[in-house]
A = this chain, B = another copy of it.
Amino acid sequence: MATTKGGAATARKKNAGAGTGSARRAQLLAIAAEMFASRGYTQTTVRDIAVEAGILSGSLYHHFASKDEMLTEILQDFMGSLLRQFRSIADEADSPRAALDGLVRSSFETIHRTPHAVALYQNEANFLGSTPEFSFVTKASREVEKVWLDVLRAGIASGDFRSELEPTTTYRFIRDGVWSTVRWYDPRGRLQHATLADQYLTMLDGGLIAS
């Protein structure tokens, strides 16, 4: 744990000199993310990742200090960019309705763009939350929640959203309904992510019951 950054520092140094970007490191992380997402973090062995990358398991430790470090880096990159994305959408929206619409569409876009990271977060976040090493995940989740809650509360206050809705519970229902999509959505299938967002917003905005 104390030597956690050894391999990483070496890789970054070399990369900074070459100027090509740490392509190898990023490539290995992409492989790891896909396998972590599809078969689960604990079910994926470092051997599995190495074989998929065409090297031996020991060689992975030249790039990463531990298996945990791979997961940490994947989730940190994901949570960081997600939070920035959500904040900019909420900041630039003209109305609570437009903000919520943008947040939902951005979420489906994210599922389309980085399904592995989303699935990983979706499947392992609960377990990870209990270990101190991954407390940053819980922390980032709370920041994201704050953004959505502000939008919902503003909409209820302005009369745009129904006042019967309890903000926190409503947020959780929406969040889970949207992110769970990653379990069955196929990025290469015929159902486009924008269409999916349309369908979800149709249901969410107007409800199920015909008037």
Residues of A within 8 A of B (CB): 39-40, 42-43, 97, 100, 123, 126-127, 130, 155, 159-166, 169-170, 172-174, 176-177, 180-181, 183-184, 191, 196, 199-200, 202-210
Interchain CB contact under 8 A, A39 and B127: yes
A199: chain B residues within 8 A (beta carbon):
165-166, 169-170, 173
Copies of this chain, whole number: 2
Interchain CB contact under 8 A, A208 and B161: yes
Interchain CB contact under 8 A, B39 and A165: no
By secondary structure, the A interface counts as helix
C-alpha gap A2/B167 in the complex (Å)? 53
A40: chain B residues within 8 A (beta carbon):
40, 42, 127
**Pairs A–B under 8 Å by Cβ, sample size 21:** A42-B42, A42-B43, A43-B127, A97-B209, A123-B123, A126-B183, A160-B209, A160-B210, A163-B210, A164-B202, A170-B203, A170-B208, A172-B181, A173-B177, A176-B176, A176-B177, A176-B183, A177-B180, A203-B204, A203-B207, A205-B208
Interchain CB contact under 8 A, A162 and B200: no
C-alpha gap A165/B97 in the complex (Å)? 20
A160: chain B residues within 8 A (beta carbon):
209-210
A97-B209, A202-B164 are known contacts. Are A181 and B170 too (CB-CB below 8 A)?
no
Given contacts A165-B208, A176-B181, could you give 12 more A-B pairs where the C-beta distance is less than 8 Å? A97-B209, A123-B123, A159-B210, A162-B202, A162-B207, A170-B208, A173-B181, A173-B200, A173-B203, A177-B180, A203-B204, A205-B207
